[in-house]
């Protein structure tokens, strides 16, 4: 216990929607005390190196490695087999629909009525109990008109460039170059932090039927 009466465990957990909430480093809550201390030690060593070398990659790689380690837990959902449908045409003839779970929506069509990122993070438990809402994104929407809000991950990168989680400009480039046949007239965004049972049992099957009814060819799904 330190001088403020806080244990190292409490310190680690404070990054996970606590007093030091930081969605980049919320994985600290998943580490043991020993691993958490080792991560911080290594991070400080790498930062010390960067001051001399300017080689920032080592810091990013360290955080990446520990993020992978922290989330390596037995998955809750496990299936021995899965559905599979082969496309009936080559990629250059397919029309691609983009579906992103990163909380992307069109600026003037906010599904949560102007909720701030901070408000969303404070309601993470409610998000996880509710079914997700699907945002429709017209295919001609400029990427600059897209907004991002999500209670489960650090959105600063996506707010700097939505293509980090919703590659609409990359898809447009591939379509312009003839690598894919075209893009759908509507794309979709939702917040993946949601009731998994409702999503699996009701929402996702309904969305799938809606997309089939709209004549969608193939979907590119992006997790965050």
Partner 1 sequence: MCHVSVGHVARALEDAGLPSVAVFIRAFRHVAEAMTLPRTLVTPHLMGRTLGPPGARRRQREVTAAALGLLETATSPGTLVELRPTTPAWPGERSPGERSPGED
Positions 171 through 190 that interact with partner 1 (CB under 8 A):
171, 173-174, 179-180, 190
Question: CA nearest 183: which of 93, 97, 106, 105?
Answer: 97
* Residues facing residue 104 across a β-bridge: 148
Contact call for residue 47 and partner 1 (CB under 8 A)? no
Question: CA nearest 30: which of 19, 41, 40, 16?
Answer: 16
CA distance 50 to 56: 6
Among positions 40, 58, 62, 219, the unique one binding partner 1 when judged by CB under 8 A:
219
| Choices 2-10, 34-42, 84-92, 136-144 (CB under 8 A): range interacting with partner 1 | 84-92
| Choices 11-19, 40-48, 92-100, 109-117 (CB under 8 A): range interacting with partner 1 | 92-100
Tokens representing 17 are 């929607």
Among positions 18, 111, 167, 182, the unique one binding partner 1 when judged by CB under 8 A:
167
| For partner 1, the closer CB: 13 or 216 | 216
Helix (H, G, I), strand (E, B) or coil at 99: strand
Among positions 44, 45, 68, 176, the unique one binding partner 1 when judged by CB under 8 A:
68
Contact call for residue 196 and partner 1 (CB under 8 A)? yes
CA distance 170 to 76: 33
Q: How far is the CB of 60 from partner 1 (least distance, A)?
A: 7
Among positions 63, 111, 121, 130, the unique one binding partner 1 when judged by CB under 8 A:
63
Please count the residues of this chain forming the interface with partner 1, following the rule CB under 8 A.
77
Contact call for residue 211 and partner 1 (CB under 8 A)? yes
Beta strands in 140-201 (DSSP E): 146-148, 182-183, 186-189
Among positions 67, 95, 122, 143, the unique one binding partner 1 when judged by CB under 8 A:
67
In whole angstroms, how far apart are CA 30 and each of 10, 66, 84, 198, 221? 12, 10, 34, 26, 27
């Amino acid at each position: 216990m330190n001088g403020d009466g806080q244990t190292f465990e409490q310190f680690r957990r404070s990054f996970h929607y606590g007093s030091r909430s930081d969605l980049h480093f919320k994985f600290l809550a998943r580490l043991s005390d020993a691993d958490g201390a080792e991560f911080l030690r290594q991070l400080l060593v790498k930062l010390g190196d960067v001051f001399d070398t300017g080689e920032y990659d080592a810091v990013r790689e360290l955080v990446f490695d520990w993020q992978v380690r922290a989330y390596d837990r037995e998955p809750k959902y496990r299936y021995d087999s899965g559905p599979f449908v082969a496309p009936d045409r080559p990629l250059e003839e397919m029309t691609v629909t983009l579906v992103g779970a990163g909380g992307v929506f069109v600026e003037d069509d906010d599904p949560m009525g102007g909720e701030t990122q901070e408000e969303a993070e404070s309601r993470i438990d409610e998000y996880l109990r509710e079914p997700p809402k699907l945002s429709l994104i017209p295919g001609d929407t400029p990427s600059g008109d897209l907004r991002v809000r999500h209670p489960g991950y650090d959105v600063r990168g996506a707010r700097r460039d939505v293509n980090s989680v919703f590659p609409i400009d990359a898809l447009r480039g591939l379509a312009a170059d003839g690598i894919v046949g075209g893009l759908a007239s509507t794309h979709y965004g939702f917040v993946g932090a949601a009731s998994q049972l409702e999503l699996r049992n009701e929402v996702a099957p309904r969305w799938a039927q809606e997309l089939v009814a709209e004549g969608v060819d193939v979907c590119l799904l992006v997790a965050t």
